[in-house]
């Protein structure tokens, strides 16, 4: 053979009987048919690699290069020189140098043990220089998944011997030499997981060897779902938010708000509350990378969402209908509208202390205690990253307004159904004057006096006319006056008693009555004088 891995070479030779046969000068015995069989030990070939020509070679010496010589009795001689490559070693001890991925990143054999984003690439290995063919495969540890790339050399390495000289004299006698070659690889069709890179080699002596290196492949970016609540589409409804997320695999994640880290860690799902510090446009970003995070071409998920926390959510408003007015109560209440989770602080002008209110809803009732006179309050309402300030004033007035009422009278007042009442009042207050059959509302004039006509019942008797005064603080004061309704006789008598004109009329009537009586008496007496006297009367005369 041209090359063998067997250390013993045996050959048979047939020539003329009685010929002389030598093996490299050693006489061999022929049988009567001219047959001979010879076995000998081969000397191991030196396997080298010539750097200058970038080619492998064999160097043969000793018994591996031999001459067979046959001479007959007539002196004819035939010489044949042979050389046999004895290669007892398998093509083992290949070395993983570096793996290059599809993006040009390089990894050592230790690096590829950790997850690697590899779809295709090359493997630089150092293999024996007498390698005839190779197969590079990637094999799954758990399933029937496999890829393979193979190649071979078409020409056997050149052989050298002592007669032509060593191609690298300075390196003569060295061990098996290796050279670096680049082999292609692919992971098409392979799912993520744990694999073994297997390199199978066959040398020219048909000896085989294989080398294995573990590799972890992760080509898929993590699939991440995330959302914030309470929100919808691009609108945030509260500065207090909660993120809920899940991933298709274990990831290292980071969640940021406007570039500020909110949440970091490792996991496959989670939820976490967070707060936004200001209204307006917000950029929320979620980043997740799988176990390829330390790779230059790591598998990662990144998504940023532009959302808005409307400032209208944090608009503030104070409803206080007493602001700037007058009240009589000991306290007043204001309704304050504010955003979620905001605070209210208020103080009274005459105090340096602030009162803190933590609302239970977005509309809060705040009660202010009042002192007599003018009260001034400062109210601060948080509006997330701003503060709205309100100033409230109210006057407490608990003093009832001045009010009085009396009837404006003359001689015939008690005969009239319509009466005129008047009195003193506090300017600007509201007055209500009423009797049993009529009521009249009017404001108190700025002059501080009022006058109004009001009807009473017709039947004779005494009747009350009332007045009530209400000021701006709803303080009330009341007054009443009693009026007299008379028929004519009673009125005339009272008028006469009071030395009124009816007294004269009564006096004239009396005189006329007395005169009439006297006249009647006189006429009666005159008639009696004209009658004749009786006997008795004459006697008396």
Tell me, yes or no, whether 229 and 305 share the same domain. Answer: yes
Residues 29 and 81 in one domain: yes
Residue 115 lies in a domain: no
Structural domain including 327 reads 314-396
Q: d(Cα 475, Cα 402) in Å, to the nearest integer?
A: 10
44 and 15 together in one domain:
yes
Residue 522 resides in a domain: yes
For residue 287, the tally of other CB atoms under 10 A from its CB is 17
pLDDT of residue 509: 56
Token couple for 213: 């290196």
- pLDDT for 343: 93
Coil, strand or helix at 493: helix
CA distance 375 to 460: 53
**DSSP letters spanning 432-453:** EEE-SS-EEEEEPPTTSEEEEE
Q: How far apart are CA 285 and CA 306, in angstroms?
A: 9
Domain total in the chain: 5
CATH of residue 32's domain is 2.60.40
Choose the final residue of a domain: 290, 309, 328: 309
The answer to whether position 418 is within a domain reads yes
319 and 372 fall within a common domain? yes
169 falls within a domain: no
Q: Which of 63, 86, 109 is the last residue of a domain?
A: 86
Looking at the fold, whether 301 and 325 belong to one and the same domain comes out as no
Tally: H helices and E strands in the chain: 3, 41
- Spatial separation of the C-alpha atoms in residues 211 and 94, rounded to whole Å: 7
- Domain assignment present for residue 355? The answer is yes
For residues 380 and 344, give the distance between their C-alpha atoms in angstroms, rounded to a whole number.
Answer: 6
User: What is the pLDDT tens value at each position of the chain, 541 positions in all?
Assistant: 799 999 999 999 999 988 999 999 999 999 999 999 999 999 999 999 998 888 999 999 999 999 999 999 888 999 999 999 999 999 999 999 999 999 999 999 999 999 999 999 999 999 999 999 999 999 999 989 999 999 999 899 999 998 888 888 887 876 789 999 999 999 999 999 999 999 999 999 999 999 999 999 999 999 999 999 999 999 999 999 999 999 999 999 999 999 999 999 999 999 999 999 999 999 999 999 999 999 999 999 999 999 999 999 999 999 999 999 999 899 999 999 999 989 999 999 988 889 999 998 899 999 999 999 999 999 999 999 899 999 999 999 999 999 999 999 887 888 888 999 999 999 999 999 999 999 999 999 999 999 999 999 999 999 999 999 999 888 999 999 999 888 877 777 776 676 656 555 555 555 566 567 777 777 777 666 655 545 444 444 4
Q: Does 318 lie in the same domain as 304?
A: no
**Strand segments (E) across 177-279:** 178-186, 193-203, 208-217, 224-229, 231-232, 235-236, 240-257, 260-275
Q: Which helix (H) or strand (E) holds 528?
A: helix 501-529
Identify whether residues 320 and 345 lie together within a single domain: yes
Helix (H) or strand (E) run with residue 536 in it: helix 535-540
Distances (CA, A) of 230 to 9, 234, 280, 310, 311: 87, 11, 16, 13, 16
CB 256 within 8 A of CB 284: yes
386 assigned to some structural domain: yes
Last residue of a domain, one of 334, 367, 396: 396
> Buried b / exposed e across 78-96, counting CB within 10 Å, b at 16+?
eeeeebbbbbebbbeebeb
> In sequence order, which residues have a C-beta less than 8 Å from that of residue 211 and are 6 or more positions away?
92, 93, 94, 96, 125, 198, 199, 201
Q: Are residues 9 and 35 in the same domain?
A: yes
What backbone phi and psi angles, to 5 degrees, belong to 442? -160, 155
Domain containing residue 255: CATH number: 2.60.40.10
Secondary structure letter of residue 498 according to DSSP = T
What pLDDT shows up at residue 24? 93
Does residue 337 share a domain with residue 295?
no
User: Exposed, middle or buried: residue 229 (CB in 10 Å: 0-12, 13-18, 19+)?
Assistant: middle
Q: Is 171 contained in some domain? A: no
Question: Is 377 inside a domain boundary?
Answer: yes
Residues 341 and 384 in one domain: yes
Q: Considering only the C-alpha atoms of the chain, give the largest distance between any 2 of them, rounded to a whole number of Å.
A: 258
DSSP label of 534: P
Residues 257 and 291 in one domain: yes
Q: What is the 3-state secondary structure (H, E, C) of 35-60?
A: EEEEEEECCCCEEEEECCCCEEEEEE
């Amino acid at each position: 053979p041209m090359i063998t891995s067997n250390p013993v070479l045996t050959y048979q030779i047939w020539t003329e009987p009685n010929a002389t046969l030598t093996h490299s000068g050693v006489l061999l015995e022929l049988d009567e048919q001219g047959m001979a069989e010879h076995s000998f030990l081969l000397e191991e070939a030196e396997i080298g690699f010539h750097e200058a020509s970038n080619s492998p070679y064999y160097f043969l010496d000793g018994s591996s290069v031999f001459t067979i010589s046959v001479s007959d009795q007539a002196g004819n001689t035939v010489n044949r020189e042979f050389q046999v490559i004895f290669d007892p070693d398998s093509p083992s001890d290949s070395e993983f140098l570096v793996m290059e991925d599809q993006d040009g990143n390089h990894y050592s054999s230790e690096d590829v043990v950790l997850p690697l984003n590899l779809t295709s690439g090359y493997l630089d290995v150092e293999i024996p220089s007498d390698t005839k063919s190779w197969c590079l495969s990637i094999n799954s540890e758990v399933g029937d998944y496999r890829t393979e790339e193979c190649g071979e050399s078409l020409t056997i390495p050149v052989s050298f011997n002592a007669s032509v000289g060593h191609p690298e004299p300075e390196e003569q006698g060295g061990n098996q030499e290796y050279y670096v070659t680049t082999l292609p690889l692919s992971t098409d069709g392979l799912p993520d997981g744990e694999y073994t890179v297997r390199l199978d080699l066959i040398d020219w002596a048909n000896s085989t060897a294989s080398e294995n290196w573990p590799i972890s492949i992760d080509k898929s970016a993590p699939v991440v779902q995330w959302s914030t609540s309470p929100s919808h589409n691009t609108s945030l409804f509260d500065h207090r938010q909660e993120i809920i997320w899940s991933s298709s695999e274990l990831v290292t994640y980071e969640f940021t708000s406007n570039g500020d880290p909110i949440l970091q860690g490792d996991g496959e799902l989670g939820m976490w509350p967070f707060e936004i510090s200001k209204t307006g446009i917000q950029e929320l970003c979620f980043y997740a990378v799988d176990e390829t995070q330390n790779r230059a071409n790591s598998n990662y998920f990144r998504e940023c969402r532009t959302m808005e926390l409307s400032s209208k959510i944090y608009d503030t408003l104070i409803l206080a209908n007493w602001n700037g007015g007058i009240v009589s109560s000991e306290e007043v209440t204001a309704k304050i509208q504010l955003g979620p989770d905001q605070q209210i602080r208020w103080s009274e002008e005459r105090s340096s202390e602030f009162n803190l209110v933590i609302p239970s809803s977005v509309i809060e009732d705040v009660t202010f205690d009042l002192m007599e006179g003018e009260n001034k309050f400062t109210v601060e309402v948080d509006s997330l990253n701003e503060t709205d300030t309100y100033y409230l004033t109210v006057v407490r007035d608990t003093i009832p307004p001045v009010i009085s009422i009396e009837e404006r009278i003359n001689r015939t007042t008690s005969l009239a159904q319509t009466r005129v009442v008047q009195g003193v009042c506090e300017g600007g207050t509201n007055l209500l004057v009423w009797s049993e059959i009529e009521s009249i509302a009017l404001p108190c004039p700025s002059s501080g006096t009022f006058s109004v006509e009001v009807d009473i019942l017709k039947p004779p008797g005494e009747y009350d006319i009332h007045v009530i005064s209400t000021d701006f603080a709803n303080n009330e004061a009341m007054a009443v006056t009693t009026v007299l309704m008379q028929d004519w006789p009673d009125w005339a008598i009272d008028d006469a008693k009071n030395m009124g004109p009816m007294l004269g009329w009564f006096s004239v009537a009396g005189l006329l009555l007395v005169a009439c009586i006297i006249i009647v008496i006189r006429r009666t007496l005159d008639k009696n004088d004209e009658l004749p006297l009786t006997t008795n009367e004459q006697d008396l005369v």
